[in-house]
Amino acid sequence: MFLTRVCCLRSVLRSRNLLVPPSGASAASKSRVISSVVRFPPLGQQPFPPAVGQRADEGFQIADESIQKYLENIRLEYYALKVSDQLDKKDIKRMALLSHVVEMYEQRRIIMDNLNSLQEMSAEKDEDMLQLMREEKEAYTNILRKLDGEIMNGILSMDDEEDYNTLILEVAAGVGGQEAMLFSRELFDMYCGFIDYKGWETEVIETEDTELGGIRHASIVVHGRDAYRYLKFEAGVHRVQRVPTTEKSARIHTSTATVSVIPRPDEFEIELKDKDLKIETKRASGAGGQHVNTTDSAVRIVHLPTGMAVECQTERSQVKNKEIAKQKLLAKLTQQELESKFNATQSMKKSQVGSSLRNEKIRTYNYNQDRITDHRVDGGTTHNLKAFLEGGSQLEDMIAKLQAMHRKKQLMDIINSTIETK
> pLDDT for 325-344, tens place per residue?
887 788 778 778 777 766 65
The burial of 211, by beta-carbon neighbours within 10 Å (0-12 exposed, 13-18 middle, 19 or more buried), is given as: exposed
Residues 364 and 262 placed together within one structural domain of the fold: yes
Residues 154 and 171 placed together within one structural domain of the fold: no
Say what the pLDDT of residue 151 is.
87
Residues 172 and 236 placed together within one structural domain of the fold: yes
Say what the pLDDT of residue 295 is.
62
Q: Is the pLDDT of residue 416 over 90?
A: no
Q: Is residue 354 part of a domain?
A: no
CB atoms within 10 A of CB 158: 17
Domain end point (choices 102, 123, 158)? 158
Residues 78 and 145 placed together within one structural domain of the fold: yes
Percent of the chain with pLDDT over 70: 72
Domain end point (choices 124, 139, 158)? 158
Phi–psi pair at 105, nearest 5 degrees:
-65, -40
- Domains: count for the chain: 3
How many Å apart are CA 374 and CA 402, to the nearest integer?
Answer: 9
Q: Is residue 47 part of a domain?
A: no
Q: Is residue 4 part of a domain?
A: no
Least confident of 101-105, 184-188, 256-260, 315-319: 315-319
| DSSP 8-state assignment for residue 204 | E
Q: Which of the four pLDDT bands, split at 50, 70 and 90, describes residue 267?
A: low
Q: Kindly give, in sequence order, each residue whose CB lies less than 8 Å from that of residue 69, ignoring residues fewer than 6 positions away.
A: 415, 419
Higher-confidence position of 26 and 105: 105
Q: Is residue 251 part of a domain?
A: yes
Letter for the amino acid at 338?
Answer: L
CATH of the domain at 311: 3.30.160.20
> DSSP letter string over 321-346?
HHHHHHHHHHHHHHHHHHHHHHHHHH
Q: Is residue 317 part of a domain?
A: yes
| pLDDT per position as a tens digit, 198-225 | 999 998 888 889 988 999 999 888 999 8
Q: Is residue 330 part of a domain?
A: yes
Print the domain residue range for 134. Answer: 65-158
Q: For the whole model, what pTM was predicted? A: 0.62
Q: Is the pLDDT of residue 39 over 50?
A: no
The two most distant CA atoms of the chain are separated, in Å, by 103
CA nearest neighbour of 159 among 406, 400, 395, 351: 406
Q: Kindly give, in sequence order, each residue whose CB lies less than 8 Å from that of residue 279, ignoring residues fewer than 6 positions away.
A: 299, 300, 301, 322
Higher-confidence position of 196 and 51: 196
Q: Is residue 9 part of a domain?
A: no
Residues 134 and 255 placed together within one structural domain of the fold: no
Residues 217 and 255 placed together within one structural domain of the fold: yes
CA nearest neighbour of 219 among 164, 179, 264, 262: 262
Domain end point (choices 158, 182, 206)? 158
Residues 256 and 378 placed together within one structural domain of the fold: yes
Cα of 52 vs its chain's centroid, Å: 27
CATH of the domain at 198: 3.30.70.1660
Residues 72 and 127 placed together within one structural domain of the fold: yes
Q: Is the pLDDT of residue 278 over 70?
A: yes
pLDDT average, residue stretch 284-304 = 68
